[in-house]
Structure 1
Amino acid sequence: MARYINDVRVVGLGKVGELVATLLADAGFAVTAYDARERSGLSFASKALDVRNSGALREALAGADAVVSCLPYNLNLGVAEAAHDCGVHYFDLTEDVPTTNRVLELAAQNPKNVYAPQCGLAPGLIGIIGSSLTAQFDEIRSIELKVGALPRHPAGLLGYAFNWSAEGVVNEYLNDCEVLRGGRRQMVPAMTEQERVVIGGIELEASLTSGGLGTMCETYDGRVQRLDYKTMRYPGHFELMRFFFDELGLRNRRELAGELLVDAKPPVDDDVVYLHAAVEGRTDEAAGGLPYRKQYVRAYQPLDINGRTWRAISWTTAAAAAAVVELVADERLPQTGFIKQEDIGFADLLSTKSGALFGNLGKV
């Protein structure tokens, strides 16, 4: 069957972008990727591109069916607007709320294209899983979503390594978080409402961080009493981060904060991604209408793909994004307008070539 999307451009060949392009090529798409510097030895075509050059960016998108932006959050809008102008379907991995709000505006201006931001790990996969769990309930009381991308063998008091964008992590720790409380949308401070979590015998702590819910608060407003997203870390992490940002005065010096943190805690290869999604509610059939809880818990390790070992944070993010592109291409998701993560079925995602990676891995 002919696909709705065939020619895909991937912008940004960093920790995730190279694997997104690899997975899409493996899934049968014609892929051309762009990065700030020339790349060689890749399994797909690649070219150098300065994404800040709007003319060159639009030229790169000419003739494409879709583009996946794998850039830092602050560069996504340029790609989204270029895709809008070129009539190209748009996908990204961002957790940045203002970026997504602008993509929503673009979708309203040109509803003929697909706009699917936030289709990475969080927001993205974790919201897809959580929303899919709600289908088992007639009445939903709470949705709790948690993700932790961590070193498997932590060292030092922070117990952390910056395998993800430092700028993104700093934003998540400092920006206010949208939640549902009492069935209504609220904004609350990040790094609050801390709780203890145990996965496979590993003790973690979880605190609210921003951006992980995407559009879910709007979707479930008035339907769910409690909804939130928390980031998981090893015990003691958030107390030290509050000291770092508040007592050392780095809350208003985000760029410097990111530089210091990456220098102190550089990336590691041996990482683990913890997912914890839980939904509480009632059904007419279960226990005479008494409340019960459904959970989906995984611990994903690094994975060998095409003879190369990829960090857990890289492959989980890339596989989720590539799977969403596959679903749109195969007309199993809408071919126009804004696509919310919570409208994507987890079973559908697992049935794609890229999404199948989640099927049997990570069980604890």
Structure 2
Amino acid sequence: MRITLLGAGHIGHTIAHLLSHSGDYEVTVVDRSPEALAKLAGMPVQTRVVETSDAQALLGALRGQQAVINALPYHLATLAATAAREAGCHYFDLTEDVAATRAIKQLAEGANTAFMPQCGLAPGFIGIVAHHLAQGFDSLQEVKMRVGALPAFPTNSLKYNLTWSVDGLINEYCHPCEAIRGGKNIEVLPLEGLEHFSLDGTEYEAFNTSGGLGTLCETLAGKVQTLDYKSVRYPGHQALMKMLLEELQLNQDTETLKDIMRKSIPSTMQDVVLVFVTVSGMKKGALVQEVFARKIFAERSETHPLSAIQITTAAGICAAVDLFREGKLPQKGFIRQEEVALPDFLANRFGAAYQQSRQVESIG
């Protein structure tokens, strides 16, 4: 399968490695940065320097390809999807941006190709898990989805290191969040809904962030009383972010905040991804709760280290593309994450990264 991968950053690099070494994909990696592309040297991929914010240049790069994987910043998602539609190739991305997903859904209407956004961790894998658990109930009461990409060794006041896109992080901290309360679809504020819990002997906090639910609010509309998504952090993070965004009003100057974070908060490859889903409802006349809890750790290889967020995000989108290639997903139109069967995902050669993680047995 001929694929163009847009973006040669940390996640793009991992996607390129997985697909190009699988034997089933001819991968061309496109990026505006020759330096980023140079880091792919030695991989069995082709590279092209293209100004990825230029619609015509993007279209030229996609012509003749069967599919495109978009690993560019979220604000380029609609542009890339539009180019994919015009070029006649299938489209997959990692966006968590709600507005971009709605625009892509419109682009998919009447298309002869497939459009599958939100193929990462959250949205992405978390929605596949939640939908799978929900299907086992006669009626649903509550679906809670919690995800954290956290440093393994927090040392600063925020108890946080940069493990993925700063653009994406601030985007999810600043935009309204979808939820279902009392059976009705509503919007809730980001950074609100603070809760605390312990998992595997570690204390965490969680709070509302935007985008993680994907399309589940639509899929479960009228079927569940409560549905929400929250990001998991170590205790104290939310209070400091509220101070920065609200009291210092950096939510009105996010470029300054991003610049501060890039300069002041170190990135780390030593991270852990926490996935925690609880679903409650009626089964055979009894109120039952089911839990899915996993921790995925970084690979500390001397030659090819991978962060947990790289592993989980790349595995998510590579598994989606692979299942599509195998005919296990619709072949045209808009594809929701919850159309992926969890057993198929975990059995997939790429999705197995989640299967090899550590299942958490004790929930407190």
Superposition TM-score tier, normalisation by shorter sequence: over 0.9
Alignment-derived partner of residue 329 in structure 1 = 325
CA separation in 1, counterparts of 2:225 and 2:256? 38
Q: Which moved more, 1:268-277 or 1:50-59?
A: 50-59
CA separation in 2, counterparts of 1:243 and 1:269? 27
The CA deviation string for residues 69-111 of structure 1, in whole angstroms up to 9 with x for no partner, is: 0000011222111000011000000000111111011001x42
Matched pairs, number: 354
- CA 1:305–1:7 in 2, change beyond 3 Å: closer, same or farther? farther
Q: Secondary structure in 2 aligned to 1:268?
A: coil
Alignment-derived partner of residue 72 in structure 1 = 73
CA contact (8 A) 1:303 1:311 kept: yes
Instruction: Give 1:14's match in structure 2, choosing from 9, 13, 21.
Output: 9
Q: Unaligned regions of 5+ residues in structure 2, if any?
A: none
> 1:307 offset after TM fit, Å?
5.1
Q: Secondary structure in 2 aligned to 1:303?
A: coil
Alignment-derived partner of residue 351 in structure 2 = 355
Q: Secondary structure in 1 aligned to 2:9?
A: coil
CA contact (8 A) 2:21 2:44 kept: no
CA contact (8 A) 1:92 1:118 kept: yes
> 1:251 offset after TM fit, Å?
1.6
CA separation in 2, counterparts of 1:177 and 1:195? 16
CA separation in 2, counterparts of 1:305 and 1:129? 29
CA contact (8 A) 1:179 1:186 kept: yes
> 1:332 offset after TM fit, Å?
0.3
Alignment-derived partner of residue 82 in structure 2 = 81
CA separation in 2, counterparts of 1:306 and 1:245? 38
CA contact (8 A) 1:7 1:31 kept: yes
CA separation in 1, counterparts of 2:179 and 2:27? 38
Superposition pairs for residues 33-112 of structure 1, below 5 Å?
33-38=29-34, 39=38, 40-108=41-109, 110-112=110-112
Alignment-derived partner of residue 190 in structure 2 = 190
CA separation in 1, counterparts of 2:272 and 2:100? 28
CA contact (8 A) 1:51 1:78 kept: no
CA separation in 2, counterparts of 1:197 and 1:127? 21
Q: Given residue 154 of structure 1, which amino acid in structure 2 is its aligned partner?
A: P
Q: Secondary structure in 2 aligned to 1:251?
A: helix
CA contact (8 A) 1:114 1:339 kept: yes
CA separation in 1, counterparts of 2:300 and 2:318? 17
The CA deviation string for residues 192-216 of structure 1, in whole angstroms up to 9 with x for no partner, is: 1111122211110000111101111
CA separation in 2, counterparts of 1:69 and 1:247? 35
Q: Given residue 215 of structure 1, which amino acid in structure 2 is its aligned partner?
A: T
Q: TM-score, structure 2 length as denominator? A: 0.94
CA separation in 2, counterparts of 1:129 and 1:307? 32
CA separation in 1, counterparts of 2:292 and 2:136? 13
> 1:219 offset after TM fit, Å?
1.1
The CA deviation string for residues 160-198 of structure 1, in whole angstroms up to 9 with x for no partner, is: 012111121111111111100011100111111111122
Alignment-derived partner of residue 291 in structure 1 = 287
CA separation in 1, counterparts of 2:145 and 2:241? 21
Mapped pair 1:24 → 2:19: yes
Alignment-derived partner of residue 141 in structure 1 = 141
Q: Secondary structure in 2 aligned to 1:85?
A: helix
CA separation in 1, counterparts of 2:164 and 2:93? 15
Superposition pairs for residues 224-263 of structure 1, below 5 Å?
224-263=224-263
Instruction: Give 1:342's match in structure 2, choosing from 335, 338, 347.
Output: 338
Q: Secondary structure in 2 aligned to 1:222?
A: coil
The CA deviation string for residues 4-31 of structure 1, in whole angstroms up to 9 with x for no partner, is: xx11110001110111122122332111
CA separation in 2, counterparts of 1:337 and 1:187? 27
> 1:362 offset after TM fit, Å?
2.6
Q: Unaligned regions of 5+ residues in structure 1, if any?
A: 1-5
Instruction: Give 1:314's match in structure 2, choosing from 301, 310, 334.
Output: 310
> 1:54 offset after TM fit, Å?
2.2
The CA deviation string for residues 275-320 of structure 1, in whole angstroms up to 9 with x for no partner, is: 1011111111xxxx22111111111111268951110011100001
Aligned-pair identity in percent equals 38
> 1:346 offset after TM fit, Å?
1.0
Q: Given residue 152 of structure 2, which amino acid in structure 1 is its aligned partner?
A: R
Q: Secondary structure in 2 aligned to 1:104?
A: helix
> 1:232 offset after TM fit, Å?
0.3
Q: Given residue 274 of structure 2, which amino acid in structure 1 is its aligned partner?
A: Y
> 1:363 offset after TM fit, Å?
2.1
CA separation in 2, counterparts of 1:209 and 1:303? 27
Q: Given residue 132 of structure 1, which amino acid in structure 2 is its aligned partner?
A: H
- CA 1:322–1:306 in 2, change beyond 3 Å: closer, same or farther? farther
> 1:252 offset after TM fit, Å?
0.5
CA separation in 1, counterparts of 2:29 and 2:293? 34
CA separation in 2, counterparts of 1:197 and 1:362? 19
> 1:43 offset after TM fit, Å?
3.2
Q: Given residue 178 of structure 1, which amino acid in structure 2 is its aligned partner?
A: E
CA separation in 1, counterparts of 2:234 and 2:89? 41
Q: Report the aligned-residue RMSD.
A: 1.4
